[in-house]
Structures are given as structure tokens and as C-alpha cells.
Amino acid sequence: MKRLLTIIFSLTAVLMLQAQIRGNSVVVTVEPDHADWHYKTGEKVNFTVEVRQEGTLLKNVAIDYAMGPEMYQDIRKSVTLKDGSLKLQGTMAKPGFYRLDVTAHVNGVDYRGACGAAFNPEKLQPSTVMPEDFEQYWQQAIQEARKTDLNPTKRLLPERCTKDVNVYEVSFNNERWGSRTYGILCVPVREGKYPALLRVPGAGVRPYGGDVYTASQGVITLEIGIHGIPVTMEQGVYDNLANGALQGYWEFNMDNRDKHYYHHVIMGCIRAMDYIEQYTPWNGQKAGVTGSSQGGFLTLVTAGLDKRITCYAPVHAALCDHTNSLKGAACGWPHYFYNNVKIKKNKNVKIQELDNAKIETSRYYDGVNFARLIDEGQKGWFSFGYNDDVVPPTSAWATYNIVKGPKEIKPYQATWHFWHQEQWDTWEAWLLKELKSTTATKLADRLQTLQQKGYMAGHQDDPFYGIGWAYEDGKSDVKLTVGDYPAVMGFELGGIEMGDEKNLDSVPFTRIHDELLAHVKRGGIVTISWHPRNPLTGGTAWDVTSNQVVKSILPGGVMADKFKLWMMRVADFIESLKDEAGQPVPIIFRPWHENNGSWFWWGQKLCSDSEFKALWNLLQDYMNARGFSNLLWSYSPNLDGGWTLERFMQRYPGNDRVTLIGEDAYQWGTEQDFVSALNSDLTFLAKFAKDNGKLLAMTECGFKNTPDPTWFSRVLKPQMDQYPICYFLLWRNYEKEWFGPVPGTPSGKDYAKAFKNAPNVLFLKDIEQ
């Protein structure tokens, strides 16, 4: 309910918390005989008209109806529904919408119903022509506007802020000095870089509340007005303007492309994106724009002119295909030339003198022509209603069809010029998915999809060395054992913080860089761990001689600056991990693992629960501030055997900070103890992961030197088979200490027996994209 009220407030600015008047006791239904309302040209649509009161069919009801091509219904009759029902039929010879409007008269009150049947709408094309200098004209206008400094203002609105979102009224210069655009900016409180969403308004003059809900989901939102006036004044101010100076503003200067009212409106949208880029913590990667009706038009405008936009969602977009009415076909609001031409006996008849200047100018303000500029790097979501008599679906479909980039369409046939709650929810979910879709979220989706096939085999340091070999290109103990690389490879960054050339296991960082990217290029999954040295004592990660280490590196601590430098070095290395196209590669990042033990300086007895969480947040917030969207964060405690929800939550960083729950599980003692503890842990962790929407993995595991030659097939695999893990990662094979398969040994052969041909175990070839 809180979310719904937030949404309504952002649209209407003021909402009284009281019962709402919705719907009527009398309902007119106009039902086609195809569930999707779609027909092929030449096919007949059969309508059924009924009038019901409180669900009961009414008889002897007088109705008026009009039917025919949308906006040009030429069959008009009045009849009485003696038995409460009426059957009507229509067809179209060419693509378009055949509309039946019905008005029922019950007890002196009129009630409306309608149905717009679609005939091959996917073949509809707009009639408007793009002027040769269209794109050049608008790009020059943008360049000219940018000669004026934004000169922004920003005022906190504390009464609208929440614990997660700061809300401001902002303003900035538009196309010239003194021409201002005002809006409501909502920014997540937590420090970091975020995607951004520009909300552009429907027609009218009103105040705005800002999109607090979307901002609470980790997206910067800017909701702008278009009239150059503050957006937080009393409602009466806007009412007076709407009925006075701004009445019919959409028709101001229709014959002059430079003075047209929407000229400064369009510039305001682009300048709003300039503001987002320059004055907010935008991540520079994901930006969306959305709006309905007039806002749908401005959505197309902004996406077409501004390639910073990566996703856009126009809902029943107005101001599209203005000149379609000149050939007697439906056009979008505000139906500029609808009264110039009427259809009489299937012929277009001019009934008013045409204003060529207005027609030519309209082409520069037609959503269709802006839609033609949208490219392959921008993804769109279109939605509208087939009963809409303000923005007819003819123009909506034609606009959609002209877009060349990736797009989706989601019509809600029965809606008029409004949307259903389900439509809003789908719309909002799509925007959040696209805006928050990152390299990391795509990796999470991939892991989730692959888990439906089984779980992936992994190995730490797999391409660097094995038993009896080191640094031989293409070599791998797993590959030598089963004929394929592991699907998951683990890499270690310990030592990078010191500026060393090699990690704590003596692997050159240049080699880590190259092998990690090589595995990604092959289609594999990579995971990174980091065992930093002890920043307080100078010892290794295993130096647990002081319980003040974590405290010393938190903000204000004596080693805070030193540790910030360490984080910078880790981030610099991660930043270098890019594919051949220059894009960051997806990485499972697994810091501060096994924190429930006490063998690392960040362990259970070495810092408090609050200090550990602060340590996690410190690193994660730094990485987020650096703009990384390719890190999938894994929280990986050690084998415990006695988890309770209360104990687990003591150090758990939080659902908004973790995507994958890991288990580091080695057999150090008896088989019975290991199996008992592992089943106890995985039972708990599997339920926790399911309840909280997290992935689950065995992020480290093994049995040192595998003294039991049947351990893989008899102990490890049967346990893992019982739980929804997405991968398991055996620790490294190094000289006299190994955890993965050793080719040619009994345990190596057992590994092949357990995993090579198992249908639920995935190696590299099983996951290649």
C-alpha cells in the first residue's frame, strides 16, 4: 500500500487518504470474438454488446452506437436491447483499427463502452514525412542551448525525504538564460553511483511529487515540469495558469518551428539529462526516460535525440503521426488537423483550408520522426490501450513499427486513456530491470538459468599450475582429467594491495589478468577472492595477533588512509579486466570469506559483528563509488554445522548487499562429522537463499590430498546433489598440497567417474554461450 501511495503521489502531487470513488454499478461491455482483439485484414470481427447492472444483464436498454474505422466511424444507430444483448459485425480491407463505441442510457445516466479491433496492426506505417534537415535542426538547437550554463539551484524538501531517499526541488537554465526548467530530484542516500530515470510529464499544468519509490530501489529520478515554473506551489496557481495563460499551450505558435511551444519543452528534456550527468551521482552507464501521453511523446523525443538514454518506455504516446488525418486515418492527440478533412462516401473531403506552415512545422514536432532516430543501443517498452480515444492505437502501433532498435510491446486492449494497476506494475518492473540490469545482474541471471541444468564444476588457480607442471599455456589438471576446462575458475588478488607484481601464491598479476580474461572469452565463469595482508601489523591475512585491525581501517581509524589505498589498488586491477569490446567482464567477488572462523584478521573473534558489517560496507561502497557494475558479491562463511537464523544474521551484510550465499566446506576431520555439518549447513543455507532470492554455491571445498580415493563420488557429490547449488569450487592443486583432481591417480579417476558424465554437472563446454 505504501508503494502504491508513493506512486499515486508522484503523479498527482496531493492525495487524501480516504476511500476512492471507482467504477460504476452499470457496465457496458463490448466484446470481440478474438481474445487478443487481433484479426487479419478481410476477416470479420463479431462484437457482442451487453449492459449489466451489478453483474445482472439489463433488458430493454436504449443504446447509441457508432462503428467503423477508428476516429471515422460512419455507421451510427440507436437501438433498444430487448433481450439485453446485441451482435454486430465489421471488417477492414487494410491494416488499422475498427472501433465500436456504445453509449447506454440507464435511468437518465449515460454509460460508455467500446472495443477497438486490430487488423494486422504490425503492418501499420506512419504517414508523416521526416524533413531532410530534421536531425540537423535539433542537434543545432541542442548545441545552441548548451552555450547557456545550467546555473542549477537545489533545495532540500525534508518533508518528502525518507531514510533511503533525499528529495530536492531543482532548477536549471533551459535554452537560454532565464528560461528555467524545474523538477523534483530524488537521490538514494547511500553513497555510490546509480542509474538514472528521467520522468517527463503528461499534458497539463500541475505540481509534482517526485518518484521516491524508484529512487528507493537504487535509481536517481528526476521528474520535470515543462512550463518554466516551480513545481511545488499551491494547486490553485496551476489551475489559474491552466485556465488562463497556458490554456491550449500545445497549439501555441504551431506555424513556426523556432517559436513552437514544444521547442523549449524538448530542450528542457535534453538539459535535464545534462543536469543528471553533471550534478548527480549518475553511473554514466544506464539512463532511462519514461512518460505517458504527452510524456510518451517526450520519451520518444529524448530517446531519439540523446544517446545517453539506454532504455525508454512511452505509454500511449501522444503527438504522433499528426498528418495521418489528412488522408482520413486516425492521428494522435492533439489531433491537429482532424477538423481539416472528413470522409464522405469513402472519399477525403477538405472542409477547412489547410495551413501549410502548420503542416510543415508539425513534422518537426512529430513523435514518429523522433522515433526514427532511436538506435540499436536503446531498448524500448511500448504500452497503450485499444480503446484509447485520445491516443488512438493506430498511431501508437505505427510509431512502434517504425522503431528500428530493440523493443517490446505490451498493449492492454481494454484500457482507454489510462492504465491498469497491472500495467503500471509491469511498466515499473521493466524500467527497474533495464536500469538495474548490469553485467553483474546478467551474470546472476545466467547462473540462475544454468542451475536449471545442474551445477558447475570449478577449480582455484586452474590454468596456472598443477601436480608436476606450472605455467604451461592451455594446461589444466581438470582438463587433463575429464577432457574439458572447469566451468568456473577462481583467482586470488592477495598482494595486489601492496603493489606487488605477484600474488600471495606467487602468481604474476599479469598472468592472472590474461588467464581470467581468456576464461571469460571461452565462455567460462570467474570468481575472485582477496586475502589482504594485515594492515595494522604488516603480517599476512592469517596474522590474528590483534583484535583492533578492522577498527583501525574503518573511517577515522589509524589505518583508514592506508586501507583506502589498498582498495584503490584492488579496484584499479578490476577496472583493467575488460573484454575485447572494452566492456567490464562479469566477476563473482568473494571478499572477507570464512568470517565465522577466527583464522583471518576479519574473523569472528577478531572484530565485532558491527565492525565486520562496516568492513563489508566499506569495501562494497568504495567499489560502487568507483562505478563497478560487474561485481556479483558473494558472502561465504565457513562450514559451521550449527547455523540458526539469529546467528547467521549477526554478520550477514544484508539482502541489498549480497547476491550469492557461499559455503566454504573442507573435510578436516572425520567423514561423518563433515557430512553431518555439510548437510546441516546446506539445509539451512538453501532455505535462506530461497526465502531471500539468493544464489547458493560451494564457494570452496575439498579434502586435502584426497586420501580417500572414492571421496569425490561417494562423499562430495551425493551431498551436493541434494541441494540447489549453482557451482562448487575445489581449492588449488599445488606441489604437495592439492584439493582438485590429480590426473592419473585413483582420486583423479574417481573425480572423472563422479563428474565427467554426470548429467547434472557442468563443465565449460556445457555452459558455452
List residues with catalytic annotation.
293, 388, 417, 594, 700
Helices (H), 226-308: 235-242, 261-279, 294-305
Instruction: Could you list the beta-strand ranges (E) of 592-659.
Output: 631-635
CB 332 within 8 A of CB 294: no
CB 595 within 8 A of CB 637: yes
Q: Report the alpha-carbon distance of residue 301 to residue 297 in Å, rounded.
A: 6
Helices (H), 437-534: 439-451, 477-482, 509-522
Grid cell 551521482 — which residue? 281
| The dihedral formed by the CA atoms of 645, 647, 651 and 655, expressed in degrees to the nearest 10 | 0
Instruction: Could you list the beta-strand ranges (E) of 387-453.
Output: 407-409
Task: Pick the closest to residue 406 from 379, 430, 433 (CA basis).
Answer: 379
Please name every residue paired with 492 in a beta bridge, in sequence order, or none if there are none. 529
- In this structure, which amino acid lies at residue 290? T
H or E, element range at 764: helix 764-767
Q: Report the alpha-carbon distance of residue 170 to residue 154 in Å, rounded.
A: 4
Q: Report the alpha-carbon distance of residue 30 to residue 698 in Å, rounded.
A: 57
Q: Report the alpha-carbon distance of residue 634 to residue 443 in Å, rounded.
A: 13
C-alpha cell at 486: 572447469
CB 272 within 8 A of CB 294: no
* CA angle in degrees (0–180, nearest 5) for 398-38-64: 95
